[in-house]
Amino acid sequence: MPRSACLRLLIVSFLLCAPRALASEGYQLWMRYDKIADDKLRVDYTAATTSIVLATPTGAESPTIAAARDELTTAFRGLLGIDANIHLTIAQSEKPLGSEEFTLVSGKGTVIITGGSDVSVLYGSFDLLRRLQLAQPIDGLALREAPKISRRMLNHWDNLNGTIERGYAGRSLWKWDELPEKLDPRYRDYARALASLGLNGTVPVNVNANIQFLTPEYLKKIAALANVFRPYGIRVYLTARYSSPMELGKLPNADPLDAAVIKWWHDKADEIYALVPDFGGFLIKANSEGQPGPQSYQRTHADGANLLADAVAPHGGIVIWRAFVYDAKVADDRAKQAYNEFVPLDGKFRENVVVQVKNGPIDFMPREPFHPLFGAMPKTSLALEVQITQEYLGGSTELCYLAPMWKDVLDADTFRPRPGSTVAHVIDGTIDHHALTVIAGVANTGSDRNWSGNQLAPANWYAFGRLAWDPALTSAQIAEEWTRQTFSNDSRAVSTLVPILMASREAVVNYSMPLGLHHIMARGHHQGPGPWVNVGRADQTSVYFHKVDEQGVGFDRTATGSNATGQYASEAGSQWADLATCPDEYLLWFHRLPWDYKMRSGKTLWTEIALHYQHGIDTVRGWKKSWENLRGVIDDERFTATQKLLDRQEHEARIWRDVCTQYFATFSKLPLPSEYESPEHPLDYYRKLPAPFTATNAPVTATN
């Protein structure tokens, strides 16, 4: 064979066998640092960043400053194709700044990043790199940034055996069998991702707590993780099973007022802090869904939280006590139970306790009104808990950008103590002057190469981090940032993907639980419809929530029903209680209505329900057509993967539509509107389908 032919064969063989670029796998998330395509912009950036000064209070090198230097060096090498041209120096700053505050000043080829701590310099470094990735001007910058909320964390529902409750992206990131001796390099990349968004805390284990994580063996493993995370400003927190003094300490009870129990927790706190000196504290789920708690001893949630708060207080730790409590033995509306239990305890928690409240009063539904606890406990620090993982929104097989959902609650006006008292201003301490402020997101990370199960799901991780830093950011702004950093600055990619992201949450609501319908998914896995579910605990069944019969559908939460509207300030509650002012999106959440109820559109309730389901499917079909415009604009791997994702989403949307409309039709006895497509299969066909089941998403009865 001629030499030239051999050479060509070798080149072809190399191209076929070479590993695919990481950029197309999604591993690099929004930190791709691809070379800037615009030659002029690249030259301008090169000139503007000849010298970078990292100014800290001490002016000394540290692991955190080393992390900032590494990130800047790697990023500039990728973005600008340069390395030696950048002169990085460390200087001492005398500028008084908060511990997480930074300034970014540039001009005459020099960029000065000044921080109130080494970590804030790291945050400033990531801010600069974000601006470069977004092709924003940087010469002449003079900005000052600080987070609005002090504790910004991910809550992982990872189990000791490597599974993830409500996880849809493979197995747990944490390899407990290898720790503490072996540290997966992915731990550092995880920490980089958190720091790039300004997140500063992680709870690596499930709130349905396993006592093993408080044993000496596992505390050493936790300490090894904390050592990796520390340079990136990330504190580790732990969940704890309330009965640990009995199960580990062999005490006869776990009564929070028992002297032996008090001593056990103080000793355990001392043990943890000896290994992890910057340990953040405990996250506790108690007296909910079978978890033990202080009520087993006729004590209150405040008694239970204060016990742990006193144990960690000498070390600067906090206790995050979840308000997700409901009891099947309580006859009252499940949506009211957390309010009923916690409002009487306002002012009885220690200052280092924060009560963590889900965004809505049920359980991360596709749409809920804001939780009535927000604004109702002025003497208590309240945290907002949202779910990044898509437990009720399609797992990893459906696109659903969640920033609009979170903005709904952040921007909601509680009217307590006055109009303009938004949930965002409750949780950031503005309204009631609390220093301890927390926001938490239930993580959607896993061992999948793309971290979150599909190429678009990391948008929610990114959006949570950006809103945790600044709740005033808009959903569209965040969507564009993520798109430009993750996919491309090409106008075709931005103009196609951002509108898809922005429409996705409403589409999922439309084809799954429109007009305020909620909690009608299949039991356990929550990844598809099950409006017929009527077995097990009543307050976990679909029929408990939709209350369908031949007369109508919906949950009456007005004064004629459960009066859940009475738990809100009158300005909000009265709006929802009045059919003339209740928005359509909350209609069946607060009202039970007949099938022929006339909507604002002039159509009947039955017709609107059917058309919402159909509209959701039509929206997904529109995305598929729009996505075709990106063929050749983005890499083939991510183009094809997303194309398949949207195909799957259309299929699952049709199942939701066909199941729910046919099920409700057996009660309404009314024909479907002409605009509605005929179902693919009869209802009995869907009722016999097996539930989705994977190793990392085993059906469970708890909903966390």
Q: If you search the block for the tokens 């402020």, which residue do you land on?
A: 437
Please tell me which residue in 158, 165, 255, 289 is annotated as part of the active site. Answer: 289
- The answer to whether the peptide bond before residue 378 is cis (omega within 30 degrees of 0) is no
Question: Does the annotation count 363 as an active-site position?
Answer: yes
Task: Spell out the residues 6+ positions from residue 316 whose beta carbon is closer than 8 angstroms to its own.
Answer: none
Residues 208 and 284: their CA atoms lie apart, in Å, by 9
Position 367, amino acid: R
Residues 53 and 58: their CA atoms lie apart, in Å, by 14
Phi first, then psi: what are they for 357, rounded to 5°?
-120, 130
Q: What is the layout of strands, in order, in the sheet containing 102-107?
A: 87-92, 51-56, 110-115, 102-107, 142-145
Q: Is 487 helix (H, G, I), strand (E, B) or coil?
A: coil
Residues 323 and 374: their CA atoms lie apart, in Å, by 11
Q: If you search the block for the tokens 């924060």, which residue do you land on?
A: 354
Please tell me which residue in 71, 255, 363, 385 is annotated as part of the active site. Answer: 363
Number of Cβ atoms within 10 Å of the Cβ of 281: 29
Please tell me which residue in 71, 385, 391, 481 is annotated as part of the active site. Answer: 391
Phi first, then psi: what are they for 361, rounded to 5°?
-80, -5
Reduce the secondary structure of 16-85 to three states and give it as a string.
Answer: HHCCCCHHHCCCCCCCCCCCCCCHHHHHHHHHHCCEEEEEECCCCCCHHHHHHHHHHHHHHHHHHCCCCC
Reduce the secondary structure of 648-667 to three states and give it as a string.
Answer: HHHHHHHHHHHHHHHHHHHH
* Pick from 25, 31, 22, 20: nearest CA to 486: 31
Residues 309 and 511: their CA atoms lie apart, in Å, by 44
Question: Does the annotation count 71 as an active-site position?
Answer: no
Question: Does the annotation count 289 as an active-site position?
Answer: yes
The pair of structure tokens assigned to 433 is 């002057």
258-264: long-range contacts at Cβ-Cβ below 8 A with a sequence spacing of 24 or more?
A: 261/307, 262/307, 262/310, 262/311
- The answer to whether the peptide bond before residue 690 is cis (omega within 30 degrees of 0) is no
Question: From the centroid of its chain, how far is CA 342?
Answer: 24
Question: From the centroid of its chain, how far is CA 670?
Answer: 40
* Pick from 114, 107, 102: nearest CA to 138: 107
CB 113 within 8 A of CB 52: yes
* Pick from 151, 152, 125, 138: nearest CA to 66: 125
Question: From the centroid of its chain, how far is CA 174?
Answer: 19
Please list the active-site residues. Answer: 289, 363, 391
